[in-house]
Amino acid sequence: MMKRIALIACLAIFVASLAGAQTVVGSKHDLSAALPVSQRVCVFCHTPHQPEGPPQINYYPLWNHELSTVAAYGTYDSGTFDAGTGGAALNTIADIGGGTAVSNLCMSCHDDTVGVGTLYNDPNIAAGEETPTNAATLISAIGTGSANMGTDLTNDHPVNFTYDNALFLADTELVDPTNAAVAPLLIAGTVQCSSCHDVHDPTFLPFLVASNANSALCLTCHVK
Ligand code: HEC
Ligand code: HEC
Ligand code: HEC
Ligand code: HEC
């Protein structure tokens, strides 16, 4: 009996560890790590009050990082890209107004035009804590590594286009967008950075929504 209980307990811990998501704290998106005193992690992207906007629908997701003013990042295109002609350019503020283009939130740091520590609504400062002004100075740029995507997305996996039944029929080598594994990856029916990335969770580096071992993530949507 004891053995069986121990076995069940072990299994429970094992299953929990498989399901367990990690946290943004301590990840590369924990920008407070670069500051000597600040202990705020979420503040670089969110604020509980007075967030940026409108035009974001319902102020989602209570955004606190200065948005980029880049008008358009261009769109990936090719002879076989069926969403090409219909794919709208990834414009910054106007598209967030549609509630879909959350990719613009990522680009507010990853296009390297706004300081990583440049916040919209400065937090109240506890004694001894870094001021946002310090944050902007201390963490000024995304750096020169591959996380710096620049302002041209024509050479990246397409984002900000509709992945619907018409596209599924036109391409013939896509998984049906209503498929139980695909549907949760779409944001208001569109492919965005967050279709593949979870900004909060470093479990599957680099911040992927699921393991890409044997290209499993790619094969969730592509029949290849
Ligand atoms: C580096 C930027 C960044 C940091 C840091 C960050 N978030 Fe987010 N968060 C986002 C983005 C971007 C979204 C929009 C959804 C998406 O694109 O994945 C979001 C969405 C959310 C949402 C709404 C959608 C959901 O996933 O439930 C909540 C709640 C949230 N974040 C809470 C937090 C909390 C709490 C922290 C700190 C522990 C935090 N976030 C830190 C970028 C960030
Ligand atoms: C507040 C600024 C900020 C925002 C907003 C932000 N990032 Fe980042 N991101 C960073 C920084 C800083 C790094 C670390 C760069 C480095 O180490 O060279 C990073 C790293 C990454 C990495 C690489 C992680 C690794 O392990 O190498 C990915 C992937 C990434 N971000 C995706 C996203 C996506 C997707 C979004 C939007 C959903 C987003 N980021 C929003 C600042 C940001
Ligand atoms: C179709 C899936 C997909 C989409 C959409 C996507 N990414 Fe990625 N991204 C990946 C994968 C997979 C990797 C890991 C690549 C590797 O390790 O070679 C990656 C890597 C990265 C990295 C790490 C640096 C690098 O080039 O390896 C950053 C930063 C990043 N993505 C940001 C973004 C941002 C910002 C967007 C939206 C504009 C985005 N990604 C859209 C799948 C995607
Ligand atoms: C969330 C679903 C999704 C995921 C995950 C995804 N893709 Fe895509 N990808 C698409 C859709 C939809 C298109 C547009 C297809 C079209 O219009 O022809 C596309 C387009 C592409 C294209 C351009 C096709 C062309 O005809 O020019 C390539 C290449 C590609 N994806 C490779 C990948 C790779 C590699 C991965 C994994 C790192 C990946 N995709 C992950 C949905 C996804």
- The string of pLDDT tens digits covering residues 158-200 is 888 889 999 999 999 999 999 999 999 998 888 999 999 999 9
Give Cα separations from 24 to 30, 32, 65, 203, 207 (angstroms).
6, 11, 16, 10, 10
Sign of CA dihedral 106, 104, 32, 139: positive
What is the whole-number distance in angstroms between the Cα of residue 177 and the centre of ligand 3?
21
**Does residue 12 have a pLDDT over 50?**
no
* Nearest CA owner, ligand 4 atom 41: 218
Q: What is the CA radius of gyration of the chain?
A: 20
* Nearest CA owner, ligand 3 atom 40: 193
Max CA pair span of the chain: 66
* Nearest CA owner, ligand 1 atom 25: 61
Q: Give me the percent of the chain exceeding a pLDDT of 70.
A: 70
> What pLDDT shows up at residue 89?
54
Which residues form the pocket of ligand 3, taking CB atoms under 6 Å from any ligand atom? 103, 106, 110, 146-147, 149, 153, 157, 159, 191, 193, 195-197, 206, 208, 212
